[in-house]
Structure 1
Amino acid sequence: MTPGSDTDEVAARGAEESARRAVAAVWRIEAARITATLTRVVGDFALAEDLAQDALGEALATWPTKGVPRNPAAWLTAVAKRRAIDQWRRDVRHRDRLSELAFGIDQGSPTDAPWDPDTIDDDVLRLVFIACHPVLGAEAQVALTLRVVAGLTTEEIAAAFLAPVATVQQRIVRAKKRIADAGVAFETPPREELPERMRGVLATIYLLFTEGHSASHGSTWMRTDLAAEAVRLGRVLVALAPDHAEAHALLALMELTAARFPARTDAGGEPVLLEDQDRRRWDRDAIRRGRAALARAVELGGGLGNYGLQAAIAECHAVAASVATTDWARITALYDGLVELTGSPVVELNRVVALAHGEGPGAGLEALDALLGRGALAGHHLPHAVRGELLTRLGHSDEARAEFELAAAGTNNDDERRVLARKLAALPPRQRGPGTKN
């Protein structure tokens, strides 16, 4: 072994790891725009993602030695376009597309085209509408969009669905095939098709925001890039469908919830729970926007649906001066409506928390045990975290410790694990039995 070879090997490994991190970061932030651009260029949803994945592979192979380019997203898009050209050169049927792409005529409609109020002037939202095509079932629409638009891993999507990873993988593969077989074009759906696609689009944006608000995997408490993209898409969607009440309600929910983001971490980046947040740091402009959107949803009539009820809950938090002065009775009643509407055990768990604040930890624990007694949320870590909190407030420290330990073992998020570790550390020392020696 020649002198310095160990150092060179360490440096190479470091460069490779740095490149991997760069690729992962770019993909998380720019995946939707890259895929949307490629879909517009090649006219094929599945092919666009394949090309993007090929470009990622080339980045992993070249960036460790050549360095990360100044504009990584543009580099990945350009590589993917070159691969498309190579493929089209082998396919005479795409001769016209090759000519168009080679001369760079891929920038969309001319600027002097007449304005069309029904046009979605946003590649990413257009991509969402493609993934939410009626040829797919509701769950397949959401899973596919979260994978392609949000860039979430299969594990993260499975966590959002509370479903096995293998099931979600199969769902995504089948969805891509159906989109390809149906020849779905990269275009604005006709206005008459908007209503049947809106349910999937709203659900996708909602889950995108939810993953940004509380990351299911990784080392960060939140993924504000995903949440911000969800809010942006919500605003575009409201402009496209100004009379759709649930679109306004979803935007209200996201604005009111995102308003708390500045206070959800401390100066060191550590998570701060709701009861400990400095409400002076909440974004008052976002609260005003959220309340205005909720008022518009109510004004449009039809009663509050899933997103409207959640937005009303978020509004209760936004207008309260403290946890103690929060209208927990109203929040519990709103959760009652949500439980009836959705039947979701996660919603029931949130209702338990509200009930415990309003009527005391004993009432909350009774409701939680009834929920768990039905087998709901089996294998999920959140019920253990809630149960540990309620037992702590009741003074049952040893039982609380066991619950927090189960919750910490079950979470896939490092920040959440640290929050649980702090709760464990704050508990009194374990009680010893009468026969225990020191």
Structure 2
Amino acid sequence: MRSIHYLLFLTTLSPAYGAALLSRGARDATPTLSSAAEPTPTVPYASTTPNAVLWGPASSNSVPKPFRGKTGASVLGPDNTPIDLQNPDLFAPPSTDNGDVANSKWPFSMSHMRLQTGGWARQQNTEMFPVATSMAAVDMRLEAGAIRELHWHSTAEWAYVLKGTTQVTSVDQDGRNFIATVRPGDLWYFPPGIPHSLQATNESVEGSEFLLVFPDGAFSDDGTFLLTDWLAHVPAEVIRKNFGITNPDAFSRIPSKQLYIFPAAPPADDAEDVSDPQGTVPQPFFFPFSQMAPTKLEGGSVKIADSTVFDVATKIAVAEVEVEVGGMRWWHPTQDEWTFVLEGEARITIFAANSNARTFNFQAGDIGFIPASYGHYVENTGNGTLKYLEVFNSDRFQDISLNQWLALTPPALVKAHLGLDDETISLLKKVKPTVVGPPSSFK
């Protein structure tokens, strides 16, 4: 699919390894150096006290308490316990959290629903999620046959189909048309200013649902340019003049206000046969991401779609990541990362420099945002596979591996920083690793 430069860095933590970590108790460990005299530390060593997630959304601990080790105290006043259960690492933070990091989690369930005859839409932008300055999103649902009316945006539109099938249509600036049916797990992308429409087909009686991402954190779907809204605000004689129509009743049924989403008959089977004397668009606005074979890893899998395979998508790149139980992904990106959890549970600790770090918990339907260069990991904390999207405001997918960085740095420098011994350094991967297993002594 692509070179190993783009492969995922996953760490699989076995149950035995986790148990061994817990058996260490709360003591601080001093590194053992096998090939050099033990250095005199300039600061105390970091704690090795376990900081596991204390409970989960389905925990039997119906009344969680904000205790971590010997720190904390019970809540005496009113409290929203279901939210505490969903966010254990905010309610009882790991001892490694420190300082201040902007809120990096937004649940779509907290977004306002715009209900329409034929479907609904809800959005996330900087108005409710201020940290996400470079990307915004809309979750949209269409009943079978329902139409998201002909429209265009001043920014690009990227989409990932969650459920059902959707027919997309458009015409570019040279009069070339495009019609395609997009299925679950597939993508579409329309550059700024390209008019297009979206309609749920009748392949599923439930219609379709899709995730739209826009490379502008302040984007609002309420500011979309809609065909009906436009023509309702143009004098009728001007409309007739534009189309060369003299019949005064020809355009008498234009809606008085925007339709946005509205019910209709499902698209006809011959819709894709619309002929165009100018031809079709040279770069398809659709990519069959669902048909791409994932790169299988010991701890999960990854699929990547950016402009190297989806030519027209010059503003958005994506990785669809699956992490098995106990696995994790550890890295930092060179662009802002907008994350959407498709299934499972996860926690992410974000390091924002100058000793600032904070841990967040995620469930399906939650959005995360990690600013460019912020170090972080994504850990599967659930009992099933974690599946999520990493979306970037970029034409290329890029990452930097912590493992590879240390492996390609002179060993003496790594030892001076972290006190690692020769055996540990020898296990670091000079080629971007796909899997780093737990130490053999904990297997």
Q: Normalising by structure 2, report the TM-score.
A: 0.25
User: Which protein has the bigger helix share?
Assistant: 1
